[in-house]
Each structure stands twice: as structure tokens, then as C-alpha cells.
Amino acid sequence: MPATRIAARFEVRYTRLLDAEGKAAGPLPGFARDPAALVALYRAMVLTRTFDAKAIALQRTGRLGTYASSLGQEAVAVGAAAAMAPDDVLVPSFREHGAQLWRGVTLHELFLFWGGDERGNDFAGPREDFPISVPVGSHALHAAGVALAFKLRHEARAALCIFGDGATSKGDVAEAMNFAGVWTLPLVFVINNNGWAISVPRAAQSAAQTLAQKAVAAGIPGEQVDGNDVIAMRAATEAALAKARAGGGAHVIEALTYRLSDHTTADDASRYRSDAEVSQRWAEEPVARLRRHLEGAGLWDKAAEEALLHETAATVEEAASAYLATPAQAPDSMAAFTYAAWPAALAAQRAWFAPAPAGTEG
Amino acid sequence: MAALTLVQSVNLALARAMADDPRVLVLGEDVGIDGGVFRATDGLLARFGPERVLDTPLAELGIAGLAVGLAAQGFRPVAEIQFSGFVYPCIDQIMNHAARLRTRTHGRLSCPMVLRMPAGGGIRAVEHHSECPEAMFAHMPGLRVVVPASPARAYGLLLAAIRDPDPVIFLEPTRLYRAVREEVADDGAALPLDRAFSLRPGADITLIAWGGMVPEALAAAETLAAEGIDAGVIDLATLKPLDMETVLAEVARTGRCVIVQEAPVSGGLGAEVAAGIAERGLDQLLAPIRRLAPPDVVVPAPRLETAYLPDAARIAAAARETMAYT
């Protein structure tokens, strides 16, 4: 026996089902033969993009807080969420508006949240889904806890956690993947690799050839998917979730996409990347890609497009108006949810909320 | 009723909580087959099985984050951090998530978890095994911070912490784990999490302490009594929220106080107690508030530990000085 042998090997597969022109690059999954399913994905991506544009417009006019655009990444969020069962749990980052909308979070709730009102996280729809997590990557561990809860209760449910390429450099994500592997948790991680963590490009984030291979160290499979291909995203996530719910353990999907927007409305991406790079990436974007596919299949035309854009704009405008017409809560509401019940020992502090004169005691 | 050490009473409370409520889980490093490095979880794996007592991979941040997810799903995780010196990676999870999930979601999701850990010095341990991080946690809105100082109070306070609907940091004074035995009834009775305990009435001066300093304060009171000084002792027990009413009532009677803190002085919990007395009890004071706490140095390695820690002799000396003020 030689002194040195190969102790482990791994490979990372990359899947794209629709090319940039919207043509099938190979056999498509079953749902892609259902016109209603494809149109639903398209409508969800258009809604996400329309919401995005309105949110930016509101921020630019001082009527919304700092906002993280998902422009160009709609297929990651929508495709992954479309693969979920209603009683799975979504544990999102802050750029998955499309996933939240698909899951039943309302436009009004999203506007409220990004407008600085946490009532927007008290979803009427998916009650067990986690709210947006602003600290990068730390929510991966919550997803592991949720998945462990499912496993301990012997429920056929799975958690889906989405975070960006930058988050894969964090210990939280490594620890979450490790838990998921060692305990065979029903948990699917989706890495929304949009190429940039604010100003730091993917290549400066990790020397690993793929981010999907970070799964390998945790003993779970990892794969790459074209994140601008919503059919591939839904198919890959469906397979991973089905395996997870069946007791087959966790999975990592690295979705390769591109952040066509600034990091947030507080960012100016021209400081660190060229317009030429961004322009080139528009050719790959997911909404036009699926539209071309639908048109090629005879499922979509100009009239349908115009009707959808009109309808979607009206829906988003209505939600924005409702958000703008929603008064802020009373100041003492900020103490309403600090604890299940405000401790008697801190009772005097609530004098702070008395109308006037301002001041507090004790 | 059995005479138990503090660590045995922690174990008893854990077993009681697990027997009473199937949502209660115990997780952490070496908490299963090993029963915890201090044996706080001894026997729980055998009794409740591996789906209730989970040996985790070695990842403190992960343990805290995992507990957040479990708690949001309706479990009542009781997570152990092996020593408080290793809790610092968890701060992001505690501060940014556990303590504010209820606020962030307007009550839709909450975080009824307990993070328990040995804390404090006095056991001649290696570096990072003697820290007192209570003030840091007490500064975080949404948390409760509890430090038991006797076996019976550890039992009742831990039950209360586990049953509480919000996250609780439970700091167990390592030096008291096996220091004394006390009769502890396994009656499932919780103690309130918003009350200080007046352990000894005093007419002349009030000694205010928590955790490992409580027995030192009691010993100092004995010494002082022999000298004709009637010193009372308060165990704060719950540091957030802080029961200032009990403190103010005692200090109003004596007019003099010494606040004993094991952690370095600046920004410590003792400052919060002192401020509360100054704000609401200043006109009752016969002498300046005295804070007795080590200087702002790193907790020393064991050979110098006794020169660092407040003890009964220093407490008695501070009390005498405060009594001498006219």
C-alpha cells in the first residue's frame, strides 16, 4: 500500500435548464410542461420586480427606509419558494422579497417593514416563517434549529434558508451546515451568489472553486444551479426539499446570479464595478429569459404582457398607498413586545412615553 | 427532602422541568453521556433519551443560534455553554436575535430559551474560566439575567427561567457548585424572576451582592456582628430586571450600603444598583454609596486570584469605613 492515497473525492455539478434566450437546454421537469405553473412563476417574478422598482422610488423620495433591491435575482427567491410546501419554513436573508411574496407575505407587509415598521414582520400568512434577518448569515443557525424541531417532532417538513455569497465566509453558516450534516437535518441552504458582497467580489470572498463545495466539508451534497433560470431553481430546490422531508438530510444549492442593482439604496456600485460589467449581465437576467421561453411555447404574447404589467403596477400602487396611509404606532408600542409582559420592576421607565414633558425616571 | 449542592439542585430543576414539560430540551457540549463537565446534566440522557438531551458539536455560537430556532418552533431549549468565558461568540445570537425576535415580529415568534453557564472565579481555573459577564447581558433589552447564590434558590430560579416566555441568561457561580449543601424540596415551585432576596435583616448597613459574592457578604456580616455592627445582606438574584424596591427599602432603614461586585468595577452591575439608590434613595443615605469591586484588570491567572476577588475581609473593611462616615 502506498504511503499516500486519496482519502476523499468530490464533484460539484452545475445545472441550467433554460439558456439565456429562454430555450430549453435539455429535458425540462414535469411542472415546466404545465402552462399555469410557468405563468405563475413569471407573474411572481414580475410582481417582485415591480415591487422592487416602487420600493426604490419611495426610498428616493424619502418615503421608505434603506432598501435592498433584488433586481436580477428574482428567479432565486421565486424558484426556491415555489418549491416549498406551505408548512415548510422559510428563513430568509434580506433580499428574498420574491420568496416572501410567494409564501403569502403581502406587499403591504413588505412596504411596512422596509418603511421602518415591524408590524410588517407580523405576517398574516406564513406564521412560522422567519422575518428578514439583517445580520449576515446568522439566520442559518435558526434554520438549523427549525429543522431540528421538525426532526425531533418527526414531522415531514423542511426548512429553507437563503443567504448571500458573502455569508458563506461566516462561521454561522459553517456551523449551521455542520449541524445540518451531523444530525441529518431536513434543511436546504440556498446561496444567492449574486457576485458581490457590497463591494467585495466573489473571487475576493473565497478561494474555493465553488461555494457549493462548502457543503462537502459538512458532509452534505452541494450543487450549482443557474440562479437566473427559475425552472432550474424550482426543480433543484424541489428535489432537495423532497429528499430532506423524507429523512435524506440537508443540501446546499449555490444559485449563480448577478446583482444588477446597488447593494442597497445607500450604496453606489459605480465606486467598485464598471457599467460595462453590469450591462453585459443584463443579457442573462431571469425575467426576460422566462418570458422568451413562454413566448416560444406560445404561452405569452404582447397583450398578455401589457395586461400583466398594468395589473401588477396597480396592485403595487395600491399596496404602496395603503402603506403610506398607515399611521405610525404610538410610541409606547416599542415596549409592547420587548417581553411577553413588561416587567413590573421596570414599570417607571414607561413614563418616557408620556406625551409631555419628555423625561424619564428610574 | 434532600441536602443538595447547587449543581445538584440545577440538575434536579432540569429533570423536573423536563418531566413536567415535553417541550423542554437540554443541549450543549458534553451534556449527554458525560453529564456536563460539572455534572449539571448528569443522568438526564439516560432518563429522557437522546431526543431530549442533545450533545452538540463544539460550536458555542451554533448552540445559541440553534436554540433560537428551536424556541421559535415552540420548544423550550435549555442550552449549556461550558464556561462563561466561551459565551462571547454567542453574543450576536443573544443580542441580535434571542433578545429581539419577539420585538422584531411583534410577538409572532418568540424565544423562550435559557442559556445557562458556570460563571465567576474562585476555583483556581485556567484562563477564560472565571469571567463574570452579567453586566453585558443585563444591558441587553429583552433578556432576563439571573444569578443564583444558593442550592434552593438555584432550583426555584432555574425552574422560573425555563418556564419564562422570554430568553433568560442563567449564570451559575462555579465556586458555589459544591460549596455548601442545602435542603431542597423537589416541589416544582418556581421563585419569582423579579425579586431580590433579603437574606439577613440589618439595622446599621446593607451589603448588596449576587452570585459568588453572597456567601462572602454573609460571612462579612457575621464578622461585623461580632464587632457590634448589624449588617443586612441582600442577594439580588435577578439582575435584569433589577428589584430596586427591595434594595431601596433596606437601604432606607440602614442609610448605608456596600455593593459587592466580582466583575471589574467600571460599567458593572454595581453601578446600576448605585445609580438606582442615588436617584431614589439619596435623602435616606447617611454615608456615600460604596462599591467594592476589583479594578479594571483582566481576571488574573490562579496564582493571583485571591488578590483579585473581593472577599469577606474586604467587604467587612468597606463596611467599617462606611460606618465610620459621619
Are A145 and B56 inside 8 Å of each other by CB?
A: no
> Grid coordinates representing B155?
432550583
* Cβ neighbours for B283, distance < 8 A, ≥ 6 positions apart: none
* Phi, psi at A266, each rounded to 5°: -95, 5
Query: What is the structure's pLDDT at A362?
Result: 45
Note which residues in 245-304 of chain A have CB less than 8 A from chain B: none
Are B62 and A141 inside 8 Å of each other by CB?
A: yes
> Grid coordinates representing A156?
415531514
Residue recorded with cell 420592576:
A345
B50 vs A: CB within 8 A: no
At the topology level, CATH places domain B2-184 in: Rossmann fold (3.40.50)
Contact of B172 with B148, CB cutoff 8 Å: yes
CB-CB neighbors (< 8 A) of B77 in chain A: 145
A145 vs B: CB within 8 A: yes
> Grid coordinates representing A275?
457599467
Long-range contacts of A314-318 (CB under 8 A, 24+ apart): A315/A47, A315/A50, A315/A107, A316/A47, A316/A50, A316/A51, A316/A54, A316/A107, A317/A54
Q: How crowded is residue B226: how many other Cβ atoms within 10 Å of its Cβ?
A: 9
Are B104 and A340 inside 8 Å of each other by CB?
A: no
Please tell me the distance from the alpha carbon of residue B71 to that of residue B66, in angstroms, as a whole number.
9
Beta-sheet pairing, B231-235 with B197-200: antiparallel
- The per-type count for chain B, helices as H runs and strands as E runs, is 12, 14
pLDDT digits (tens, 9 = 90+) for A240-277: 999 999 999 999 999 999 999 999 999 999 999 999 99
- The per-type count for chain A, helices as H runs and strands as E runs, is 12, 8
CB-CB neighbors (< 8 A) of B108 in chain A: 121-123, 127
* Phi, psi at A159, each rounded to 5°: -105, 145
B303 vs A: CB within 8 A: no
Domain boundaries, chain B: 2-184, 197-324
3-state helix, strand, coil split of chain B in percent (to 5) is: 40, 20, 40
* pTM passes above 0.80: yes
CATH class, domain A14-328, is alpha beta
Tell me, yes or no, if A263 is annotated catalytic: yes
DSSP B146-185: E---SHHHHHHHHHHHHHSSS-EEEEEEGGGTTT--EEE-
Indicate the burial class of B238 (C-beta count within 10 angstroms; 0-12, 13-18, 19 or more). Answer: buried
Are B61 and A178 inside 8 Å of each other by CB?
A: no
Are A145 and B73 inside 8 Å of each other by CB?
A: yes
* Phi, psi at A338, each rounded to 5°: -65, -45
Are B142 and A338 inside 8 Å of each other by CB?
A: yes
Return the DSSP state at B215: H
Kindly give the confidence (pLDDT) of every residue in chain A, 362 residues in length, as a single tens digit, with 9 standing for 90 and above.
Answer: 679 999 999 999 999 999 999 999 989 999 999 999 999 999 999 999 999 999 999 999 999 999 999 999 999 999 999 999 999 999 999 999 999 999 999 999 999 999 999 999 999 999 999 999 999 999 999 999 999 999 999 999 999 999 999 999 999 999 999 999 999 999 999 999 999 999 999 999 999 999 999 999 999 999 999 999 999 999 999 999 999 999 999 999 999 999 999 999 999 999 999 999 999 999 999 999 999 999 999 999 999 999 999 999 999 999 999 999 999 999 999 999 999 999 999 999 999 998 766 555 54
CATH class, domain B197-324, is alpha beta
Which of B104, B318, B157 shows the shortest CA–CA distance to A138? B104
Tell me, yes or no, if A272 is annotated catalytic: yes
Contact of A196 with A273, CB cutoff 8 Å: yes
Which of B138, B137, B233, B149 shows the shortest CA–CA distance to B191? B149
> Grid coordinates representing A291?
418570458
Note which residues in 163-202 of chain A have CB less than 8 A from chain B: 171-172, 175-176, 178-179, 182
Which of A68, A96, A58 shows the shortest CA–CA distance to A261? A68
Partners of B231 in the β-ladder: B205
Cα A250 from chain centre: 18
Q: Which residues of chain B fall below pLDDT 70? A: none
CB-CB neighbors (< 8 A) of B107 in chain A: 122, 336-337, 340
Domain boundaries, chain A: 14-328, 333-362
Query: What is the structure's pLDDT at B2?
Result: 87
> Grid coordinates representing B38?
460539572
Cα angle A135, A136, A137; round to 5: 115
A92 vs B: CB within 8 A: no
Q: Do domains B2-184 and B197-324 have the same CATH topology?
A: yes
Contact of A120 with A114, CB cutoff 8 Å: yes
Return the DSSP state at B89: G
Please tell me the distance from the alpha carbon of residue A191 to that of residue B304, in angstroms, as a whole number.
50
CB-CB neighbors (< 8 A) of A158 in chain B: none
Please tell me the distance from the alpha carbon of residue A74 to that of residue A96, in angstroms, as a whole number.
8
pLDDT digits (tens, 9 = 90+) for A33-90: 999 999 999 999 999 999 999 999 999 999 999 999 999 999 999 999 999 999 999 9
**Widest distance between CA atoms in chain A:** 85
CB-CB neighbors (< 8 A) of A90 in chain B: none
Entry field: residues in chain A: 362
Query: What is the structure's pLDDT at B65?
Result: 98
Cα A5 from chain centre: 41
Contact of A12 with A61, CB cutoff 8 Å: no
Catalytic residue among B97, B106, B128, B129: B129
Please tell me the distance from the alpha carbon of residue A224 to that of residue A236, in angstroms, as a whole number.
9
**Widest distance between CA atoms in chain B:** 62
Residue recorded with cell 433586481:
A71
